[in-house]
């Protein structure tokens, strides 16, 4: 339509059109509000000062594609006035999050349904989806992990499969895809990939088990069974690998279990209750550079931080919509620089915090 308009006028008419659009570009308040995309400046919460000079600081939040590419050239903005802004992808119901070796932020969104890939350094964004595919459609992407080559692994709780994409988001294969289109898993949720041993760990929440697979998807071992004892599960969900530890959110046993990589129980943290340090709806789990465990509680809207002895060190968050507050938080990831990414699901955003621990040489016995 824009091309037709420009081709249909000549000389002064073109100049008048451009001048008029430019004036509209400058004077239209609604466009100006959209073009800046500056959110109402919400006050950042104060830094949380912790023992021994450590601290936790809130950095930012983000929730849509436009924030990756905040600057648009004059002619693009002019075209926006004439034809309307392009549609940008937004977070609808984000759930799980991870960052890769390039610093890209990868977020699953069962509400979309698809996977958002935010590359702030390169100012690039990509949306990965297979909802329209007849063969192995991705219906409800749940949790996400990456391997050493930045290949992306996504569990799908509805289809019962694991979808694998390369580092550029190109579809590679579906693990657990059976004849007839069914998935092997009843409800795959948490996932972790160990590139060094070429193993994939995935929780099958409805089976109350963890499956250890090779990279081709063959089952090597099944870990756990239904129960409340050590190494037993009641709706296991999120997984995290940390050193030799396999960390499992045992959701309906209201705890986090730590196993070794062969599945042998080591210890557990948490219990049901309504006091600080208890768990009611444990969701995402992560580990910082000092080895402390971070656990999201979706119901309370908090992230609780424990040492490996199960002692609560501190917590942050609380119900609300402001900076540093959460509504039904879910996924959690901590990168190599101790930046903490929290999926603030019902607020349709990702919030980023930064943990400043002690330098390695200063840690010694100060815990």
What span, in angstroms and rounded, lies between the C-alpha atoms of 233 and 223?
10
User: Which of 172-186, 245-259, 287-301 has the weakest average pLDDT?
Assistant: 172-186
295 located within any domain: yes
Is the pLDDT confidence value at 367 over 90?
no
Does 307 or 5 have the greater pLDDT score? 307
Q: How far apart are the first and last CA of the chain?
A: 65
56-70, 138-152, 352-366: least confidently modelled range: 352-366
pLDDT of residue 9: 41
Per the domain annotation, does 14 fall within a domain?
no
Percentage of the chain with pLDDT > 70? 82
CATH number at residue 342: 2.120.10.30
Residue with tokens 């610093």: 103
8-22, 45-59, 82-96, 248-262: least confident range: 8-22
pLDDT digits (tens, 9 = 90+) for 252-275: 999 999 999 999 999 999 999 888
Contact 9, 21 (CB under 8 A): no
Q: Which two tokens stand for residue 56?
A: 């936790």
Residue 59, preceding bond cis, omega within 30 degrees?
A: no
Q: Does residue 24 surpass a pLDDT of 70?
A: no
Q: Is residue 320 part of a domain?
A: yes
Q: Is it the case that residue 322 has pLDDT exceeding 70?
A: yes
User: Is 24 inside any structural domain?
Assistant: no
For residues 350 and 155, give the distance between their C-alpha atoms in angstroms, rounded to a whole number. Answer: 20
Residue 6 lies in a domain: no
Q: Please check whether residue 236 lies inside any domain of the structure.
A: yes
226 is written with which tokens? 């239904």
What tokens were used for 327?
A: 């509504």
CA distances from 251 to 10, 106, 201, 271, 289 (A): 68, 23, 17, 10, 25
pLDDT at residue 221, rounded to an integer = 97
4 within some domain: no
Does some domain include residue 59?
yes
> pLDDT tens digit string along 288-313?
999 999 999 999 999 999 999 999 99
- What is the predicted pLDDT for the residue at 38? 44
pLDDT of residue 275: 82
pTM of the model: 0.86
Q: Return the pLDDT at 130.
A: 95
User: For residues 263 and 279, what is the distance between their CA atoms, to the nearest angstrom?
Assistant: 23
- Looking at residues 210-222, what average pLDDT do you find? 97
Per-residue pLDDT at 149: 98
Average pLDDT over residues 155-170: 97
Domain hosting residue 297, numbered range: 43-78+90-363
In which band, very low, low, confident or very high, does the pLDDT at 41 lie, cut at 50, 70 and 90?
low
Please give the mean pLDDT across all residues of the chain. Answer: 88
Question: What is the number of domains present in the chain?
Answer: 1
Per-residue confidence (pLDDT) for residue 67, from 0 to 100: 95
What is the DSSP code string of 27-65?
H-HHHHHHHH-----PPPPPPEE-GGG-EEEEEEEE-BG
Q: Output the pLDDT for position 73.
A: 62
- Using the Cα atoms of residue 220, residue 142, residue 189 and residue 59 in order, give the sign of their dihedral: positive
Give the Cα separation of 55 and 57 in Å (integer): 7
């Amino acid at each position: 339509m824009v091309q037709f308009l420009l081709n249909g006028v000549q000389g002064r008419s073109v100049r008048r059109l451009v001048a008029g659009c430019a004036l509209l570009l400058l004077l239209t308040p609604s466009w100006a509000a959209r073009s800046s995309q500056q959110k109402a400046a919400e006050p950042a919460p104060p830094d949380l000062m912790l023992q021994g000079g450590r601290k936790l600081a809130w950095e930012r939040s983000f929730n849509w594609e436009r924030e990756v590419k905040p600057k648009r050239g004059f002619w693009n903005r002019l075209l926006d006035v004439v034809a309307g802004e392009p549609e940008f992808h937004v977070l609808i119901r984000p759930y799980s999050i991870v960052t890769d070796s390039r610093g890209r932020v990868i977020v699953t969104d069962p509400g979309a349904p698809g996977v958002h890939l935010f590359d702030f350094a390169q100012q690039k964004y990509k949306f990965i989806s297979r909802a329209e595919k007849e063969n192995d459609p991705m219906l409800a992407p749940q949790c996400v992990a990456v391997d050493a080559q930045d290949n992306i692994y996504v569990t799908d709780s509805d289809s019962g499969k694991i979808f694998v994409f390369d580092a550029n988001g190109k579809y590679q294969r579906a693990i657990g895809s059976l004849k007839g289109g069914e998935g092997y898993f009843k409800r795959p949720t948490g996932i972790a990939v160990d590139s060094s041993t070429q193993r994939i760990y995935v929780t099958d929440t409805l089976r109350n088990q963890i499956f250890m697979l090779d990279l081709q998807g063959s089952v090597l071992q099944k870990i756990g069974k239904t129960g409340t004892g050590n190494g037993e599960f009641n709706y296991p969900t999120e997984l995290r690998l940390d050193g030799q530890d396999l960390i499992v959110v045992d959701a309906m046993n209201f705890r986090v279990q730590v196993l070794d990589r062969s599945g042998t129980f080591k210890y557990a943290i948490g219990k049901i209750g309504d006091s600080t340090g208890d768990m009611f709806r444990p969701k995402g789990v992560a580990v910082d550079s000092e080895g402390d465990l971070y656990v999201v509680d979706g119901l309370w809207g908090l992230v609780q931080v424990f040492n490996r002895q199960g002692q609560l060190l501190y917590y942050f968050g609380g119900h609300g919509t402001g900076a540093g507050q959460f509504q039904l938080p879910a996924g959690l990831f901590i990168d190599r620089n101790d930046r903490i990414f929290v999926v603030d699901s019902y607020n349709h955003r990702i919030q980023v915090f930064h943990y400043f621990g002690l330098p390695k040489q200063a840690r010694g016995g100060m815990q």
